[in-house]
Chain A
Amino acid sequence: MKSYRQIVEEAKTEIPEVTVDEIKSEQEKDSDFVLLDVRDEDEYRAGYIANAVHVTRGMLEFSVENYIPDRDQKVVVYCAAGLRSLLAAKSLREMGYTDTVSLAGGYRDWTAAGFPTEQDKPMSHEQLDRYSRHFMLTEVGEQGQAKLLDAKVLMVGAGGLGSPAGVYLGAAGVGHMGIIDSDVVELSNLQRQILHRTESVGTPKVQSATTTIKSLNPDIDITPYNLRLTADNVEEIFSEYDLIVDGCDNFATRFLVNDAAVLMNKPIVHGSIFQFEGQVSLFKPHEGPCYRCMYPTPPPPGLVPS
């Protein structure tokens, strides 16, 4: 049986160590290497070396390939003081990474030398708790959650499609949402439009949608637009958002959304349903088709899905 000290000593014979001064000057020379931070989430959250890739020691073997696919890439591993990074660098060698080194003294020596660090926008305790299941998915993590909280998404329609989309986007923590709809809630909507409640019948859908999403997640900032999207207002509204989620229920609006999004270079998440069939796609202007690539003009009136 090996003691912890023996394991570290063994690793030291295999893994070269570099000092923080060496790495700082390599950075300044723009040398080609990846900094890999293997500390735990709470350590990383308190600050990290700029541009470091973060994979906790515990998740290293499972997900490092997603971040560093090239096994011949030079990898400088660091932790708090330089021990976990030695063991992590050794595991990487076993995985076939050919050029891994460990930062002696780790983050402790880096900050003691007065070198610069970065910190993500801190999340509140409530946010850390609320989104904790996202953090367990390495593809999402705290960095992904920060992107969601910064995102600006416009939902066109708070009806059948906008309801589930809005509920999930709000629950997931999409930080800024606009919701456009000019309808009021009707009793016949409630069989499928889960953003609305019986007591909201007769009130504007955007108001009812805002209340529901806010009660699910007060973190979200919502701009309600109780109006019909037209050629006159679309550009001003779209300019505030990065992504359009189109769950509208009529061709006039769908073509308007598509035309404006292509002209303004905004991606659209498209969804529509007709009777028992539904379709979904993502229209990214010029990287793929737009709605008009499939349907240059709408079908004659009377064939209108919803």
Chain B
Amino acid sequence: MLPGVIGVMMATEAIKYIIGIGEPLIGRLILYEALGMTYREMRINRDENCPLCGDNPVITKLIDDYDAAAENPETFAPAAD
């Protein structure tokens, strides 16, 4: 049942975004826990040191093999030049 709740929230966000109404979940993470039936909102901020969208990104193109990288997380970001 949990994927139903989350998937419908995703559809709701998509529709709000397309029409341009309401408060989008930009910078907010919704956490839903089914057993306790609790629902929390967390602020999430852009990290200026993010390797991808930070102020000095080291990832400026896709890495070659995401499957291989997933097996060995240290390789997930290319080394900084």
Tell me the A residues contacting B by CB distance below 8 Å: 139-140, 144, 147-148, 151, 153, 159-165, 167-169, 172, 174, 192-194, 230-231, 234-235, 242-243, 245, 247, 250-253, 255-256, 258-260, 262-263, 267, 269-273, 276-290, 292-294, 296-301
Contact = CB atoms under 8 A, between A and B. Distances in A.
A277 B24 contact: no
B44 interface: yes
B19 interface: yes
A299 B69 CA distance: 11
Contact of B46 (A282, A293, A299): A293
5 contacts: A148-B18, A245-B10, A259-B59, A279-B31, A296-B50
Given A259-B63, A293-B45, A296-B51, A301 B70 contact: yes
Interface residues of B, number: 58
Contacts of B34: 276-278
Contacts, number: 209
Contacts of A144: 19, 21
A147 B45 contact: no
By DSSP majority rule, is chain A's interface helix, strand, loop, or mixed? mixed
Contacts of A167: 11
Contact of B44 (A140, A164, A245, A294): A294
Contacts of B51: 292, 296
Contacts of B19: 139-140, 144, 147-148
Nearest to A246: B10
A194 B63 CA distance: 34
B63 A269 contact: no
B25 A281 contact: yes
Interface of B: 1-15, 17-22, 24-35, 44-47, 50-54, 59-67, 69-71, 73-74, 76-77
A288 B66 contact: no
Contact of B11 (A165, A284, A289): A165
B7 A153 contact: no
A164 B8 CA distance: 6
A90 to B, nearest CB: 29
Contacts of A148: 15, 18-19
Contacts of B50: 289-290, 292-293, 296
A288 B27 contact: yes
Nearest to B25: A282
